[in-house]
Chains A and B, each alone.
Chain A
Amino acid sequence: MALTLFRGIQTRPFLPYPYGLFPRKHVLFYATMKSTQTQTATHEKEQPLLKVSSHTHSKRLDNVSKGYEAIIGIETHVQLYTLTKAFCSCPYSYGSQPNTTICPICMGLPGALPVLNSKVIEFAVKLGLALNCKLSLNSKFDRKQYFYPDLPKGYQISQFDIPIASGGFIDLDIPVEFGGGHRRFGITRVHMEEDAGKLLHTGNGSYSEVDLNRAGVPLLEIVSEPDMRTGIEAAEYAAELQRLVRFLGVSNGNMQEGSLRCDVNVSVRPIGQLEFGTKVEIKNLNSFSAISRAIDFEISRQVLLHNENQSIQIVQETRLWDEGAQKTVTMRKKEGLSDYRYFPEPDLPEVILGKEYIDSIRDSLPELPEMKRRRYEKMGLSMQDVLFLANDINVADFFDATIDKGADVKLAANWIMGDIAAYMKNEKLSINETKLIPQELAELIASIKGGTISGKIGKEILFEMLGKGGTVKGLIKEKDLVQIVDPVEIERMVDKVIAENPKQLEQYRGGRTKLQGYFAGQIMKLSKGKANPVLLNKILLEKLNAKS
């Protein structure tokens, strides 16, 4: 299966922090990691599950940050997968020509008014319930005011003091490679708001252009409690959120397109200290591994400053993750607290949720990742299998459907995680995009188990079905692939091969018994792989050892 390699801080001797942090003897070690570095970001889309090839990195970090603990909280913006924007009837699709999906409302023209898309509420309630939150039966929208050219009204419609959902938690399992274990992280709040447009900076930088296609696209902002302690935990939190929004169908959760954006707050404090250290915000995290690496870099940077008695240099600021340089850099220092002058949005009525409405949504919730994982665990699958299968809703659905058709749980998991996953990775397809259907996978497993076909033939059929479709029965018939179990027929083939190889027979009988493999191979070839290997070998041995 595909492994997304998680790597630690890339060593670049001219960078002050990592170089200063790690003793020289490790340079070689880090240098070897560099070669795989480029791989890391690219697999995220298909494969949000984080995998690491060694524990070494986190151990290094542990050494560096000995005596300190990091406090990590995440603010996530999820773009909702609604047909139209939050307050107007414009569609939104990522990558459209600039300013082609806009109208007077999302342009903020004078006199235009927002009208809430009810899907936004539905999706917010879904996610709120999935995050085990308390829902506010009576919430409202507020205006968050600031000036920026991508914000056409000069304020963002958001929710301030009464978010639609609050006080929840998310459960997840840390992959075995990272030490494993179950975690529960608190969710402070979930609130609804609208996205801003985008600034396009021209080549020579003398002016900027505004694209308002994204303005007014509905977002849910999910704020976590500061419950995470490592980059891995933070990345796994984000990955679980992505799974959740995809399972719920409220967002495509695509990080590259900005449908799921994470801003991370990191502070460190000496273990035992009660008050938090100075919080630094990190933006521009476009993948889970970027989240993890950026946080670990930032922890190291802050710990180093503490160790050098330079903690005064840790200031409240926003830092950007520089993917190329693998470090965080200052974007803007926060000068005092910004005052957004929130006040209730007078253009929109209050959001009132009825109990029946909430119940109907609760009843319609699909099985969520955590429930799936616990169910798979109970089926006796290993945690590695469980995490793989429950990672992608399509894979999970495929697996479940295969099991429903009576397939053996472990065998089905093996096929999916093995050859099918490899095929999906090579062809860059999702499991639904292959031509294989669960029923046929179940059939395939049954055919092998029942001896109709060999495992080898089974693989052949599998790839045929993945690429071109068809049924197991049909392919066996079409290609005449039924295993030969008739001893008479096998004996005939054995006789033929022995007769054609008198020299080898002589050598065998002269003591070179290894030649049995040669004979078996020739017979299998003659049978086009269909001969039952047990029978074949039994008959072959009898013939070879028979006194002439």
Chain B
Amino acid sequence: MLSSVQNPRFLLLHLPPKHLHFATTKAIHTSQTLALSPSTSPPVSQILTLRHSLLSRRSTAVELAEAYLARLRRTEPQLKSFLHVSENALKEAAEIDRRIERNEAVGPMAGVLVAVKDNICTADMPSTAGSRALEGYRPPFDATAVRKLRESGAIVIGKTNLDEFGMGSTTEGSAYQVTANPWDLSRVPGGSSGGSAAAVSARQCVVSLGSDTGGSVRQPASFCGVVGLKPTYGCVSRYGLVAYASSLDVIGCFGSSVTDTGILLHAISGHDRFDATSSKRQVPAFTSQFISKDLLESKPLKGLRVGIIRETIDDGVDPDVISSVCGAACHLEELGCIVTEVSLPSFSLGLPAYYILASSESSSNLSRYDGVRYGNQVVADELNSLYGNSRAKGFGSEVKMRILMGTYALSAGYYDAYYKRAQQVRTLIQKSFKEALDKNDILISPAAPSVAYKIGEKKNDPLAMYAGDIMTVNVNLAGLPALVLPCGFVEEESTSLPVGFQMIGAAFDEEKLLKVGHIFEQTLRGCNFVPPLVADDFPC
């Protein structure tokens, strides 16, 4: 099934130093004869470009919005990334133009089209969480993240598709539609934030919000070749995020560059008095220390300790993915990082612990969809059948399965063996991450064990799908921030599919992750992460 590996070409071409154990895996960027796409420049911040155009009056917000909307209209029939597209985008853009015309101050996100995952509440648009249980539901309030976006001038362009309530890794679990991967329409975009990842990848919007409970931002970012950021738990308010597993859920960011992702994160982070778990820390200006690539020294990351997690480049992971990630490690090394292998012995326990905890919390969080208040109420002459039938009709099979698993795990007599045990594992995982991050500045791993797979391929094999979350769930259990960056391609059936790698930082160390990510991205050569679908009208 696998064909040749297409290796990216790095800024500095050296053989990897001998002490690296992982260099024994498949050859990494040693073959300079391999055909590469013409040298491309690193990704440019769409937000900064757009802002410059607006403030210099080179283009209007309406013109810019129209360009995105045109692309959206053209690609949407194939991609189906949106569940709802706003009717007010141009109106809101016109308002920004008026303000600029009157020389009034506009926010840092002025005119930026943001797509929002449909499990994040928006007052002016439906918010279904991809479920029939919330069909037609319009919340009376904006999620805090959405409110902050609007306050900084952003335009919410629409609501993106997802696996129902965020439960899934392919976006096939949506009750409404299946979203395609912009790189290969026969493949999944990943999930559960597949719509948001695909929309950024296909430049249907500038940036987008997703949510990440067990990898739902990072895995689709890897599958779609975009930057995905899962912030520290507590960094971004969850108020208005339809809860799946409250102790793991975070709102995350997608962008086509690290700068855009950082600007988006800055716009939505900060303490919120409506979320008791939100942090009171000061929000740093994540992108202010970014250095233009022309000013970079030869070893800009000199001394940065990078640990590559041994358990993530092991059996069960696609060798081509391992190659790409090891290539990224080499690249970091060439940038001056000290790369070593670290072991997280508890790593493999993360997956079962995650599925027990997430299912348990979801079985509770989803109790409110009882047919009494939202969605379709099934006519019944007795209360229990009203509940039973409304829920049977409202939920899809994956959701039902997780509710059943969670209900079981929390039941008297099983609680200690499942929920309590999983919490103990969680503590263990937090400890082992802490130890690893005391010795390293960042940890790296693949973002997913494979590249994007075919639609339908794992639909009837939930365990295979769950196994795909192995790279990401531990980070949620530990509550840490992680940034996924595209780092190369794998050729499958003569299609180039992007691969991302994950950088994990200490709690609230987003600034460092973004800084490293920015340097990595700016120095990565030979990779163009604009999918062919839109390459024509989105020149890089």
Contact = CB atoms under 8 A, between A and B. Distances in A.
B139 A109 contact: yes
Contact of B143 (A111, A147, A341): A111
A107 B129 CA distance: 18
Contact of B140 (A109, A145, A154): A109
A108 B412 contact: no
Given A154-B367, A347-B276, A149 B372 contact: yes
A152 B277 contact: no
Interface in A319-343: 337, 339, 341-343
A222 B307 CA distance: 53
Interface in B113-166: 120-121, 127, 129, 134, 137, 139-141, 143
Nearest to A87: B276
A154 B391 CA distance: 13
A20 interface: no
A145 B367 contact: yes
A113 B140 CA distance: 14
A372 interface: no
B140 to A, nearest CB: 6
A423 to B, nearest CB: 49
Interface string A339-353: 101110011110000
A162 to B, nearest CB: 14
Contacts of B360: 343
A114 interface: yes
B284 to A, nearest CB: 23
Given A115-B274, A210-B372, A343-B364, A110 B383 contact: no
Given A149-B372, A154-B370, A210-B372, A143 B364 contact: yes
Nearest to B373: A152
Main secondary structure of the interface of B (DSSP, over half): loop
Contact of A111 (B240, B276, B410): B240
Interface in B229-250: 238-243, 245-247
B101 interface: no
B422 to A, nearest CB: 11
A155 B243 contact: no
Contacts of B466: none
Given A110-B127, A110-B243, A339-B412, A155 B364 contact: yes
A104 B127 CA distance: 14
B63 interface: no
A154 B364 contact: yes
Interface in A367-423: none
Main secondary structure of the interface of A (DSSP, over half): loop
A147 B384 CA distance: 9
Contacts of B120: 111
A537 to B, nearest CB: 78
Nearest to B238: A113
Contact of A113 (B127, B134, B274): B274
B257 interface: no
Interface in A109-125: 109-116
Interface in B368-390: 368, 370, 372-374, 383, 387
B355 interface: no
A211 to B, nearest CB: 13
B411 interface: yes
A215 B387 CA distance: 20
A153 interface: yes
Contact of B368 (A116, A153, A210, A347): A153
Contacts of A113: 238-239, 274-277
Interface of A: 104, 107-116, 143, 145, 147, 149, 152-155, 210, 337, 339, 341-343, 346-349
| Nearest 5 A/B pairs, CB to CB | A154-B367, A346-B247, A346-B246, A341-B410, A111-B240
Interface of B: 120-121, 127, 129, 134, 137, 139-141, 143, 238-243, 245-247, 273-277, 360-361, 363-364, 366-368, 370, 372-374, 383, 387, 407, 410-412, 415, 419
Given A210-B372, A343-B410, A349-B276, 10 more contacts: A110-B374, A113-B238, A116-B276, A145-B410, A153-B368, A154-B367, A339-B412, A346-B247, A346-B361, A347-B277
27 contacts: A108-B368, A109-B141, A110-B121, A110-B129, A110-B137, A110-B139, A110-B368, A110-B374, A111-B141, A111-B241, A112-B240, A113-B276, A114-B276, A115-B276, A149-B372, A153-B368, A154-B364, A154-B368, A337-B412, A339-B411, A339-B412, A341-B363, A341-B407, A341-B415, A343-B361, A346-B246, A347-B243
